[in-house]
Structure 1
């Protein structure tokens, strides 16, 4: 039987060949005991292997004790850190690393954005720095979206997407008519031909496919197709200025029954507000030909679209707010009473004449607007406009409206005709200027 070099005597478990140092006190020498090799059960034939001299060296024993003590201290210190504190430290480290990464990425993107903007031939989106495109639009045979700020070469076929507000362009077809120099021709606007009250409105020839396919800026004498009319109406609603040529073309196109109905349907949800906006352009500051041009063209276009056009009248919302007739009446009151010398007298008269044209179209179209005008003064109000009118053209427009309103409100008085004194007074105001659209023999039902 094997024996152990320990002060306790023989091992109670002789069949276990391991050291007891793990269970001994650190200050005792019992932990230095080395297991004895078990060769056999016979004491005579067994040999005991004792510890070497190096294991019994006091310096080595001291180092071993110090190392064991150091490991124990480290383990105790690590156990003192609460688990939550360790998690917070890890999260703080992750946040610091993320912030540093974002800062570096933002700096890199800013440098790239500045480099792209330094290129005069490149434009970049304000929302996405990586979305850059050439400044010059490159047309193809297929319609392509025109990006913001891109420059268009002349002679392209351009379409306007009413749903999204985007513009599309492509190379013109070979069969399309060659466009001119692309300049804008400024021509004076003209109101539609006067039609007797209750008379039939004459239609206008529809544009040919070749004329509808023309590209480039809209000219005053262009025949507009439906997409072009909708585009111009959208620009009016969006308060985007129109050129003189575009206004003239739209005013001329409004003569057609279908085109007039399209214009009214495109404008009618905000027609009252639009009327207030254009009136404000000429009433809140001195009216001049320059700032009154858009208002004049707008009311002429609306009057042309509504004139003897039941479909356009039906498209209007009779209960829309703000109401259209009171806005127009207030505008006429303002411009016919303008103080002479403060602003352009002819500009005031032109705005008032365009508003009278629109009021006449509404009154002749539906009795709802007749009642609205009667509630605001009726024939007496219209007579006051006639007495305050400063131009012969405005006098004639007001006289025609007065005759039609009298025929609708008091038919018996209309049948009796106008007194000779009234006719003399009208001739004195009109003078030698004759209306090219109405002959002196036109009956009393002639309209604006």
Structure 2
């Protein structure tokens, strides 16, 4: 079985290394040896250290490599939308199996890849696109195919989880925790894709597509990052017996017309310390799956890095290579449900709201009246002075109110906060966070 490897960076280099080190075992598992037909790279002269590969295999002509008749499997670890999309469509339409770790492409235009795979009768595998080495996508696609998944909640970005874990452990602010993550190599020089939630949103789209048999793209995912999370938010979460995580949430639901829908979102949220995801620290990933028959399932492990991601890539290579030798194709994309995506405003959630207010009689009643007008029920209220002391009303200074709501539509909660911002008695709305995973 001959492989075309597109990309030889951190992940691609580990793929080459594992192919070399485990060649005998891989051949035994597949029933035939794996051989690299060529490696497409951007620059031929780059120093690749002691990588165990013949330099003559490198080429800058990725498309030419994909089109070669002696290539059976195309492995893509370049990333990005183009030119990767063109290469993979070419391979799939020609009947060549594809293994990719390209979450951005799958989330942006996975339908095109699946259509090309169907047209060419080829396999398309992408376990490495979400949560690194954690076996997650294939259980969703195959092991749980006889069940009905109702909700998927996950921590799928290691950089943001490291930052939030550091803030929780040390009391540091976002900027300090990001600086530490960068120094330790957990954050890129430009961390935007991670801290603004783009990376997690792409993964959420892939998870939702598999879980609910519906094509979901990154554009369907409501996205918020963690840049506005403060040390005060983390302290407030601790006071409630919670921690803050950047969550991807995909859930089935019913809209106002009674139609079944899906809602997919990525945002920071408070979760109780009793929730299984609360203990996931450092740069680890975890995904919590809820299904009608199987109940609650947890997938946990390292979600990034060259070796873990390469492990997932090679797992897919073994699967598609065995299929080619047997002359069969794996089950195709399952998108039969075609459920509409429910807008964020209709999602049911809870809010944690911190307000700086005038410290005088009647303030709490006025604030409560705003929540009542939007049909939002208040679960708890904590009150203190703006400097964090206990405080009472009637002193003429400022005070802080911390309000946690019961479940309500996100649109109603957002409208409540918008009205609060316009009240004369509200000096500022200092923080708004969603609360997930019941107490």
* TM-score (normalizing by structure 1): 0.25
User: Structure 1 or 2: larger helix share?
Assistant: 1
User: Structure 1 or 2: larger strand share?
Assistant: 2
Over alpha carbons, which structure has the higher Rg? 1
* TM-score (normalizing by structure 2): 0.26
- Tell which has more relative contact order, 1 or 2 (C-alpha 8 A, sep 6+): 2
